[in-house]
């Protein structure tokens, strides 16, 4: 797993596990976690899996590279 950025407002900071560039995405509501999303990096377009989970009342996101 890579990074553990937190969610602020409705957006979550994610760092791509391939190019290591950070970007923000709209995150899920706290009532919808834990969940996983397949997502393409907004910088290099490589696929990743983003896992969202709760840490207290905060939604946490972790990104992991997936297949080529």
pTM here is: 0.78
pLDDT for residue 6: 45
Residue 1 inside a domain? The answer is no
Please state, in angstroms and rounded to a whole number, the distance separating the CA atoms of residues 13 and 1.
15
Residue 25 inside a domain? The answer is yes
Residue 21 inside a domain? The answer is yes
Bridge partner list, 14? 23
| CA 66 from centroid of its chain's CA atoms | 13
Residue 34 inside a domain? The answer is yes
pLDDT for residue 41: 95
Give the C-alpha distances (Å, rounded to integers) separating 45 from 11, 18, 38, 51, 68: 19, 10, 12, 18, 11
pLDDT for residue 30: 86
Residue 13 inside a domain? The answer is yes
Contact 34, 42 (CB under 8 A): no
pLDDT in tens, the chain (68 residues): 455 544 445 788 899 999 999 999 888 988 999 999 999 999 999 999 999 998 888 888 999 999 75
pLDDT for residue 10: 75
């Amino acid at each position: 797993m890579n990074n553990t950025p937190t969610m602020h407002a409705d957006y979550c900071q994610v760092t791509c596990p391939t190019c290591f560039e950070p970007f923000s995405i709209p995150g899920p509501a706290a009532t919808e976690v834990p969940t996983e999303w397949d997502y393409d990096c907004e910088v290099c377009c490589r696929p990743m899996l983003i896992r969202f989970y709760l840490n207290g009342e905060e939604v946490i996101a972790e990104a992991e590279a997936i297949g080529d």
